[in-house]
Amino acid sequence: MEPFPSDQIQLPRNMIENSMFEEEPDVVDLAKEPCLHPLEPDEVEYEPRSSRLLVRGLGEHEMDDDEEDYESSAKLLGMSFMNRSSGLRNNMSVYRQNPNGSCSVPCTRTMVVCTVVLVIAVSLIMAIYLLPKCTFTKEGCHKKNHTMELIYPLASNGKVFPWAKIRLPSDVVPLHYDLVLQPNLTTLTFTGSVKIIVNIVQVTWKIILHSSGLNITKATITSAGGHQAKPVEFLEYPLHDQIAIMAPEALLVGQNYTVNIEYSSNLSDTYYGFYKISYKDENSKQRWFAATQFEPLAARSAFPCFDEPSLKATFLIKIKRDEKLSTLSNMPKKATTPVTDGIVQDEFFVSLKMSTYLVAFIVADLKNISRETNGSQVSVYATPQHLNQVGYALNTAVKLLEFYQKYFLINYPLEKLDLVAIPDFQSGAMENWGLITFRETTLLFDSNTSSARDKKLITAVIAHELAHQWFGNLVTMEWWNDLWLNEGFATFMEYFAMEEVFPELHSDEDFLNLIFKAMMKDSLNSSHPVSSAVQSSEQIEEMFDALSYIKGASLLLMLKHYLTKDVFQAGIEVYLHNHKYGSARSDDLWDSMNEITNGTLDVKTLMKTWILHKGFPLVTVVRQGKNISVQQEKFLYHMETENWTSDASYLWHIPLTYITSSCNFTHCTNAYLLDQKSAVIELPEEVEWIKFNVDMNGYYIVHYAEDWKTLIDLLKNNHTALSPKDRANLINNIFNLAGLGKESLEKAFELIEYLNKESSTAPLTQALFQLSLIYSLLEKKGEQHLAARVMYRIEHLLGDKIDQQDWTDDGTLSERELRSTLLTFACIHDIRNCRATATEMFEKWMKSNGTMSLPSDVMKAIFTAGAKSSDGWEFLLKMYSSSVSEAEKSKMIEALASTEDVRKLIWLMQNSLEGEVIRAQELSHIIATVSQSLPGYLLAWDFVKENWKKLTRKFHLGSYTIQNIISWSTSQFATKAHLLEVKSFFESKSEESSQLRCVKEAIDTIQFNIQWMERNLAKLQKLL
């Protein structure tokens, strides 16, 4: 899945909360209330209170002692006993007070009672003390042959639900699904039936599977040889989205059974499951569209299923629909048969073996164009009014499909590949096998209004989703902890394929900027390893972040350069061949690579130091003659947090690369594996300068200590001695080191003084990014005078470059993209005469009633300038409502959100949330833009707080959209008052919300901003 990309990609260091306050699940003690069906011993589950304790008791295997749990449990038991004893003493005092105030001597009977109570108390305390410590742990003492005392949750009907884990049991596996659906686009409901053929791995009386929000009306089971379906009892446990089919007799090992379930539900009004979409056709008539989005956990809301990625099966799908509409699914259509008047049924061919989250179907009025390549029909679908914008996507998809088949040496296995533009879609795209769904802005290209950046975005998203047809669909991660195997690989292949097939797009520059931003997130204490243990739905949603995508991809890039491209490619081929149509873990990839390296390098040992640990190394370089000392430590911003954890002793195996002044252009790049804390590299001769991490192909930051001055002089005198990516890398590293306190901000500003001679996009955009961060912090902090001096410095460095830009679409794609970036920035901040020129062009366009053609690359700058006036804003909103170009509408939205009129900003956010004039899919983009401006950044946060329940209902907790919304609405804060406000807001919500990683990231970011300002504010006043 491609999280929605935007021009202002910001890392989701964010916060989320669960507004659905759930009660503790009901539990029942099976020792007191026996179940009707036998229970297997592996069904015992122990979970901490924060995760809802569902089962506790004695198991069959020995468990380790837990000192802390023992002590705390003993204390609690002791305190409980003492409280009860004191209550007894208060209520039944053995000494009776005489009227004169003196106490009478107790009677013999009273003394005996007291003695007995005392003996019982002492006995209980001794028993607690002498019992094994494991008695008081969450796991309990597991002794063989002991009777288990189990506590299970209750199903929705009050009966015992026979399973307590979030993960499904392993005793039953699905083989095949027959799914029949009938959506009604008038009532916005659907009915369905599913027949699931399952195989029994371990004898059982139950079948546990997933179902969410479905009204199940009937359930039966049929044995392999049987002809009669037997009705069965089914139980529902909504907390885990699970149902239990209770068999009338034991299900035998090795046998197949067919489970038949009939159900109904509403089409979802969120972006998950089988959901409804409203749009206007070419005649402005409202139409309805039904589509699916199942990743990660929403297939269960469209049909009962085993909704885990490793539980693959084949699918036969039939859809009943209005004869005026059309349907699409993963496989080609096999037949269409009449059902009743006006209703027909489409049947699709049986699918390949695949995960439930990749199942997809669409019911809508769509048109398409197609081409065949290598035995597969490639088609691009859109609503009829957008059919003239799908040509570029079709050509791009065909080229990329052909490239991947050659590179992987595995043909695309399906007879068709559909790419569909969805009118309302939360993500950028979704890789459903054979039926890839896209947001319209990531698939439709309008030659009149789509810019160079739009073309690059469409190409990148198609490349990403097509890569998934192998990485994710053919070979799927076993569980969501290894999501990076899907998303990291697809991101890596996305940029690699674009470099190979579309070199003119210079996609490597975009990848570089994404890596820089991922490292910002990864440098916080709240970061997480690329491969992280996850269980709950919120935890799984949160894995869809910059680390799974970008860090995962950058680690693969580093490995490719270290192994060489041929060895890396061979390893990928082995991995795909060994695990096709199955599931894999990270170790399976490293084992495949080791088959190729054949003992010359242990890839598994190398890469485990990167994927199982959060953060990245800081490599300090000291040059002394021919000897280069290198030393590694963890790069980490030390925030004052209660939960700060130090792992300074952690050791990465770092494939260092470096170039020197003695490069002879035949062997420039050198490599050295730093697998110790420090080492010395001996060069053949002394050199004038040395630059590590060539082209930023490694995931680490370099500190050059005394050598920074040498590199600063090199940039001033001969900046082209280093590649554009190396220059951008130096800019990024020195500003990060200044934030860490390892280098001075003065030296960072000194390094970028050469920029008036710079002409390459990568270093210019990185410098603009770093300076913009400083400007924004100062502006929001109320340091307007100092912020103005930062803007003056930007104008001093880039003013000539801005003046050189013309207002056309001429030049290479890289030049056009730089023009768009510089002019948009200049118009927003009113630098030079940018706003005057743009306003003049906007007024001409407005006088033509929007019919005048505007250069697409500078369209956003023109719209932004025009939206500054009230009339211009109103006209832009009117044009937005009537435009059929999604590329043009995207630029309009950003311009509308850049106004300084507070009332208009509030209306814009509220309207987008309601999805009336502006779709809810645009909301995160709007909040991102609003939060950057001085009038808007507090409004954005207030809007998020006030509408939190609505936001978390529309966009699921932990989702990439929620991550981005929270990140943008808080990342500008740099005061202790705002820090306290953000903390308090989430602490007032549920424990699950306040403990989410994205909440911690947001708090870490604000703390970093505060620390940065405290460290650098006085320095900036002197420096500027």
Show which residues are catalytic: 465
Q: Where are the alpha helices (H) located in 452-532, listed in sequence order?
A: 452-468, 483-501, 507-522
- Among 471, 470, 443, smallest CA distance to 455 is for 443
Q: Which residues of 594-626 are buried (b: 16+ CB within 10 A; e: fewer)?
A: bebbeeebebeebbbebbebbbbbbbbbbbeee
Contact 711, 729 (CB under 8 A): no
Sign of the alpha-carbon dihedral angle for 716, 718, 724, 725: negative
- DSSP string for residues in 83-104: HHHHHHHHHS-SSPBPTTSPBP
Beta carbons within 10 angstroms of residue 38's beta carbon: 12
Cα(842)–Cα(523) distance, rounded to whole angstroms? 42
The Cα–Cα gap between 585 and 531 comes to 10
List the strands of the sheet with 617-624, edge to edge: 678-682, 627-634, 617-624, 701-703
Residues 6+ away with beta carbon under 8 Å from 1003: 15, 526, 641, 979, 982, 983
The answer to whether 859 touches 850, Cβ cutoff 8 Å, is no
Judged by DSSP in three states, 203 sits in coil
177 strand-pairing partners: 196, 315
Evaluate whether 988 touches 4 at the Cβ level (below 8 Å). Answer: no
Cβ neighbors of 914 (< 8 A, separation 6 or more) are 920
- Give the N- to C-terminal CA distance of the chain in Å, as an integer: 44
Q: Indicate if the alpha-carbon torsion angle 433, 434, 437, 443 is positive or negative.
A: positive
**Which uninterrupted H or E stretch holds 950?**
helix 948-954
Report long-range pairs for 61-66 (Cβ below 8 Å, ≥24 apart).
61/142, 61/144, 62/142, 62/143, 63/134, 63/137, 63/139, 63/140, 63/141, 63/142, 64/134, 64/139, 65/132, 65/133, 65/134, 65/137, 66/133, 66/134, 66/136, 66/137, 66/138, 66/139
Q: Is 571 helix (H, G, I), strand (E, B) or coil?
A: helix
- Contact criterion met (CB below 8 Å) for 430 and 436: yes
